[in-house]
Structure 1
């Protein structure tokens, strides 16, 4: 869950640091100085502590201190600070939302639901409360309530979504209507929800049109049940009777935890398959493993869900394993800093779109990665994928267990409450050694299996 930090800026026109030179006991200036710094750093924490030493009743200093502790994964301390802020500022929804955010990051959903219930009483029309509740309900597999609350996203101040004219589809039979399915959120979400697109024809849609970004166009081109793919933000917009965001389809189809539709069948272009065959070369008997260590760096929570290439290097030492990087974007630069001869094949520069990536993924034996769009791609293709997850991951993966009903070929590896990646990677390394050992023990065609 994400909600705005409490902001009630201290008054005064002068720069806070200039004010501190004049009066080191100015608590407001210390608060504002800390707010202007990186909240994960020691300098910001020092500013907030100095403000509280001067005046321990400043609720904003407690809230900012809590935000910094949350960003550094020190959740127990952050919760304690947030509780003080709420006690000092009991009628403020913002103080409660800050506490809710920290409880969510810590995975304490029981207390967060109680906090949200109180916030709903304070501001019953505020969509932020329902949005927070949707995340907990979806994590707990209450899909009926979770997807209903998920609709509150349209009214969040920070939510970016292109408004479309005409009535939204409410899930009723389409009976010969034209329906436009509109884009929302990232590539992974589009891949996740694509399973619903062929289902629209079964409800009587005469024509199904889907907004699509260019990176997915070749991969989706042959999808059954879709009559036309429209460029994102196309003008003029094609005529339709009803429209629906792709992220609203689970609600409209009445999805339950025990009735999640299987992933959509993706038609990988033959020219992409031929390219993948050239890139990977002939099968030499080794286990082919793709790796991805970061999603889109522009995504607000990417720093929590992603890690760095160096953690993946341990997989290079497993006998009988060939490792291929599927990483795209700025994190690819980490490959250039490896010593010459490091046995990892950088395929990112060769992958022009998701069709190219899909063609490679379907030829791999396994993908090991932190959560991003490639996890949804591998899961949709049925390729085994080990998804290394942050402590409180995307709702699709729930809060416990090693599997998700959304992707039968996916195995989940989870951080503990300390948000430490090391046990996650060590567990994946043990399993990879075992898998490679079983692979090596299999007889090779025309050989002894040694």
Structure 2
């Protein structure tokens, strides 16, 4: 059976696989497994159309190979062809009903298609065949359970991330805190995952102190000023050597330790916006043009994030919002995607570029304070605006970050946030159509009330 779970392979493995597959195909163009191995290496290189074609060529020569069907399903799912991906995985299981990797890939495809009940059933079947839950199966089950709001079991499974080879975190330096009373012990709270995750779970740091701990907080420099109100006993720069402490805990373990449920999500942390950041924002944004609505926009998160291609879009759909009378757009975008503003040429005047002036999240927070609304695809700025309590319309992918659940317009994690959800076809056009209609309604409502300068409710 062809191996199908190549998520944790080193980059060099792809080159070796590709060269071996090409040599095998030179010797025998009908070698089905070589075609599929070539497809696997192309998928990992992001060449999905070619990968899919290679797997299908392999199936021409060996239609009964469950592993090739599963590889095809992986590529189809990654290409956003979700229903086709699930169908291929179902065929793979029919051909190889006890293959553990095939069963795992089926579960992943079902979750990514938003078929959560089916995904949980598939995970149960894979657990049975494995003789128990592996770390990868527990991780997949965690993502599914958290997505449907089963925090009690989901957070327990979420700890399995630490056993996954690709998991990135600092090496342990002290015993893990298990949630018991701390009685004045020094607790090293370590950073994990991205900026948005740090903003999300910063709300738990005061609870560590309330549990009797003396927190030592590892913090990215970009977040230090805006989170300065947390006032831990000690700040540690991200990646610095571990301090002397009694116990340690990863920040993403805190929701589990504090028994978080959908009904008990703590409110967002109170952010600190320094006076100099507010002064910069006042100078840049100036006085409001009468009768206008200031709308911040962000269209992409950090490009190094694995799922960014799924959650991001481009600047162009946001420009349609500038057609609405009274709407003024302000870009909060950072990173390589800022170049899309330069590409607009004279039309770039439709969007005020704030990104070049944003040195950290405190600067971004100060800008957001002077806006009426933020409309964006999901990234760390969504957590920032949500923590500030600024009205934010978050445009989320079909299977978004788990805090957004799978249905509805609201999330308990950020009361000021409204969600606009992508459908299973992964098309942003209907999402932006809904946003434009909602913004038309909002401008009309506020114009009727004569309250455009008062900020959204």
Please name the residue that 1:437 is paired with.
Answer: 444
Give the deviation of 1:27 after TM superposition.
1.9
Aligned-partner Cα distance in 2 for 1:444–1:13? 62
Question: What is the CA RMSD across the aligned residues, in angstroms?
Answer: 2.3
1:87-126 maps to which residues of 2 (within 5 A)? 87-123=94-130, 124-126=132-134
Aligned-partner Cα distance in 1 for 2:23–2:185? 65
Give the deviation of 1:374 after TM superposition.
0.2
Deviations 1:54-109 (CA, angstroms, capped at 9, x unpaired)? 11122232122112211222222211211222233333221111111110111111
Asked whether the 8 Å contact 1:40–1:72 carries over to 2, the reply is: no
Choose the corresponding residue for 2:223, options 191, 205, 216: 216
Aligned-partner Cα distance in 2 for 1:216–1:430? 35
Q: Which secondary structure state, in structure 2, belongs to the residue aligned with residue 219 of structure 1?
A: coil
Choose the corresponding residue for 1:133, options 131, 141, 150: 141
Do structure 1's residue 68 and structure 2's residue 75 form an aligned pair? Answer: yes
Relative to structure 1, the CA distance from residue 341 to residue 113 in structure 2 (aligned partners, 3 Å threshold; closer, same or farther) is closer
Do structure 1's residue 317 and structure 2's residue 362 form an aligned pair? Answer: no
Please name the residue that 2:272 is paired with.
Answer: 267
Please name the residue that 1:158 is paired with.
Answer: 166
Q: Which moved more, 1:407-416 or 1:18-27?
A: 18-27
Asked whether the 8 Å contact 1:4–1:94 carries over to 2, the reply is: no
Please name the residue that 2:346 is paired with.
Answer: 340
Asked whether the 8 Å contact 2:18–2:41 carries over to 1, the reply is: no
Asked whether the 8 Å contact 2:223–2:361 carries over to 1, the reply is: yes
Relative to structure 1, the CA distance from residue 16 to residue 363 in structure 2 (aligned partners, 3 Å threshold; closer, same or farther) is same
Asked whether the 8 Å contact 1:4–1:97 carries over to 2, the reply is: no
Please name the residue that 1:291 is paired with.
Answer: 297
Asked whether the 8 Å contact 1:6–1:98 carries over to 2, the reply is: no
Asked whether the 8 Å contact 2:17–2:41 carries over to 1, the reply is: no
Q: Which moved more, 1:214-223 or 1:323-332?
A: 214-223
Please name the residue that 1:193 is paired with.
Answer: 201
Aligned-partner Cα distance in 2 for 1:153–1:41? 27
Asked whether the 8 Å contact 2:219–2:236 carries over to 1, the reply is: yes
Asked whether the 8 Å contact 1:379–1:407 carries over to 2, the reply is: yes
Aligned-partner Cα distance in 1 for 2:77–2:387? 34
Aligned-partner Cα distance in 2 for 1:231–1:437? 47
Choose the corresponding residue for 1:251, options 250, 256, 270: 256
The alignment covers a number of residue pairs equal to: 441
Do structure 1's residue 20 and structure 2's residue 28 form an aligned pair? Answer: no
Aligned-partner Cα distance in 2 for 1:85–1:445? 57
Q: Which secondary structure state, in structure 1, belongs to the residue aligned with residue 225 of structure 2?
A: helix
Give the deviation of 1:119 after TM superposition.
1.6
Normalised to the residue count of structure 1, the TM-score between the two structures is: 0.93
Please name the residue that 1:53 is paired with.
Answer: 60
Q: Which secondary structure state, in structure 1, belongs to the residue aligned with residue 330 of structure 2?
A: strand
Please name the residue that 2:41 is paired with.
Answer: 36
Relative to structure 1, the CA distance from residue 398 to residue 445 in structure 2 (aligned partners, 3 Å threshold; closer, same or farther) is closer
Normalised to the residue count of structure 2, the TM-score between the two structures is: 0.91
Q: Which moved more, 1:316-325 or 1:51-60?
A: 51-60
Where do 5+ consecutive residues of structure 2 fail to align? none
